[in-house]
Structure 1
Amino acid sequence: MTRKISVIVPVYNVEDYLERCLDSLVSQTHTNLEIIIVNDGTKDNSVAIAERYAQEDPRIQIIHQDNAGLSQARNTGLKYATGDYVAFLDSDDWLEKDAYAYMLALLEEKEADICVGGIHRTAEQKSIAQSKEARVEVLTQKLYAKKYFKIASQTIEYYVWNKLYKRQVVEGIQYPKDFYAEDVPTTFRYILRAQKIVVTDRIVYHYFINNHGLTAQFSKKHFDVLKTWDIVVEEATKSADTDYIKWAKLNSQRADFALLTEISLSPNFKILKKEFSDQIEILSHQLKNNRKDLLAAQLPLSRKILISLYASNYLFFADLVNRLIKMKRMLKK
């Protein structure tokens, strides 16, 4: 008997995208799926769409809850998961047809705990052809944690949805409630549960760039990133691994810089610098204090230049960067 995979799909106001998501899921070549749709108090036609699919496919169950956010929806889904493996799928994204068959085969062949698949980011509605031969590497926990912490790497590894996990890796771990960037600490907790991780660049997951979504515009919620890295530092400290502690603290410092950069690049920079003046002052002060550590880290030269500039006079250089970005956009028109 093939292994059962539990797929958790949080749903909230995604009527324009849900059919594409569920079509990619019910047509997976690995058919032994347990599809757990969590209705997070959606107010549009999403539930009716999900119910239509559930009537046609007995593998689908729909769990209803009052709106509590993405984290709590995933936590609810995990309560109902009974599969040997667990995956997460966001309801405006979609999968390659053989995504789970491919990742499961890699997990079993390499005797790994987590499989990490390639991502295609797109604002289009379709998949892409894959011609190159997939690269596959097997990493120890420490080596994958190094990638997660962006040590001599710039890939983003904290996403939870382009991965397939052994059930034991995710069992009992809760997503932090009411958080933006809840993936960051949760993925680190999963890494700590894994001894071997297999990574492939073959695209298995299509991430839809939704310009109307939560991350489209900078808001107060983005400052939650600081809390997420505080949790990671705490988890690293519990692990007693000196590398993890050092890397976690460095990434906490990088988070200050990342937020300041995101604000400076925003089309609404003039509004944001007034609205979040207190937060910007605190972040700028922390960046100045941590400048030496950040400049000594393995970061691209372009980032080190910005760190030096922002640490010396954030508002002046952020305004300059913002003006340059606007000019560049105008020239492209």
Structure 2
Amino acid sequence: MPSLNEPLVSIIVPVYNVESYLSPCLESIQRQSWRNLEVLMVDDGSTDGSSAVCADMAVADPRFRLLRQENAGVSAARNAALTLAGGKYLQFVDGDDRIHPQATETLVHAAEAMGADLVLSHFYRVDGERQAVRGHIKGERLLTRQEFAREMVKAPANYYYGVLWNKLYRRSIVESRGLRFEREVAWGEDFLFNLEYIRSVRLVAAVPRPLYYYIKRPGSLVSTQATLRRTIEMKRTTFDYYKDLYQDLDLYDEQKAKVYRYLISTAVDGLTLPGEGVERRGRSAAGRRAGQEG
């Protein structure tokens, strides 16, 4: 049973046609050393057995709750969960990945001990039998948002900064700013959410410990001209948000050259892991790395 002094954490899991990956994902959440959880599983109109897997977990563990919606995309799924979330903190997990048994505990302890509004960690990139640690900020550090922005500008296209799943958020900030995911954005919605959230944080804690297992898996290629045109438009929108953040933090003049490197970093196809090409995928895994991959 959770201790009375353990703040509730809402873990949001968007699900779309990931039946063969889903049980290990949900079981990794169930095994968390931090017990005071609510897990909001949102089935985005899956056509495989994903919904049944979620339903079984909801029966087995009352902390898990299944929401179903017609297929509307990963942003709509996450927004549906945000509307119902009641935790002090928010954590996001993709339905085909896994988290370390102490992931939530480590992130929450960092937030509570250091008074951080955002906590981010290193992660494992898993490709078959191969596993590598990825991250960017070295060592355990507590940064102001200006200091964090100075780190991010060094590698803005790195998953470490762009994705949701290696981070912990304060729900009070999300709600006070009315933050939600843009349903019409086909590329970069994770990063847009992060850029907006950063505007309201006071302190950011960086944890060098890898806590998330990002599972690389094959997917479909989307390469129509209409999709390409839309993706370019979204990248321009993302850059506008990115540039505005540095202007608002009075860092734009100081970091202007590095800010514009973001356009080069994403010119080929999206946010990437250091030294890698971009993986293009279909909509499975609830949009799979929305904002990082197609």
TM-score bucket (shorter structure): 0.7 to 0.9
Q: Secondary structure at the match of 1:106?
A: helix
Structure with bigger gyration radius: 1
Larger % of strand: which?
Answer: 2
Aligned to 1:178: 184
Conserved? CA contact 2:57–2:64, under 8 Å: yes
The answer on 1:150 being equivalent to 2:160 is no
Q: Which residue of 1 aligns with 2:217?
A: 210
Q: Matched residue of 2:219: which SS?
A: coil
1:233 corresponds to which of 224, 237, 243: 243
Size of the aligned set, in residue pairs, is 259
- C-alpha change, 1:60 and 1:115, in structure 2 (3 Å) is same
Inter-CA distance 228–23: structure 2 relative to 1 (3 Å threshold): same
1:19 equivalent in alignment to 2:23: yes
- Matching of residues 291-330 of structure 1 within 5 Å: none
State the match for 1:314 in structure 2.
none
* Aligned residue in 2 for 1:121: 125
* Residue pair 1:210, 1:216 contacting (<8 A) in 2 also: no
Q: Tell me if structure 1 keeps the 8 A contact 2:111–2:119.
A: yes
Q: Deviations over 1:15-35 (max 9, x none)?
A: 111111101001101010010
1:141 maps to which of 142, 145, 149: 145
Classify 1:252/1:75 alpha carbon distance in 2 versus 1 (closer, same or farther; 3 Å): farther
Alpha-carbon shift at residue 185 of structure 1 (Å)? 1.4
Q: Secondary structure at the match of 1:254?
A: helix
Shift of residue 226 of structure 1?
2.5
Query: Structure 1 residue 197 and structure 2 residue 204: aligned?
Result: yes
Taking every aligned residue pair, what percent have the same amino acid on both sides? 28
Q: How big is each residue's C-alpha offset from its partner over 1:253-274, in whole Å with a ceiling of 9 and x where there is no partner?
A: 6325632477xx989xxxxxxx
Aligned-pair distance for 1:105?
1.0
Write the letter of the residue equivalent to 2:262: R
Q: TM-score, normalised to structure 2's length?
A: 0.78
Larger RCO (CA within 8 A; separation ≥ 6)? 2
1:87-115 deviation digits (Å, cap 9, x = unpaired): 11111111000101111111111111111
Structure-1-length-normalised TM-score: 0.69
Is the CA contact 2:125–2:132 (under 8 Å) kept in the aligned structure 1? no
Q: Is the 8 A contact 1:103 1:115 kept in 2?
A: yes
| RMSD (Å) for aligned C-alpha atoms | 3.2
Q: Which amino acid aligns with 2:192?
A: P
> C-alpha distance in 1, partners of 2:165/2:57?
21
Structure 2 partner of 1:111: 115
Aligned twin of 1:83: 87
Give the distance between the partners of 1:244 and 1:230, measured in 2 at CA. 12
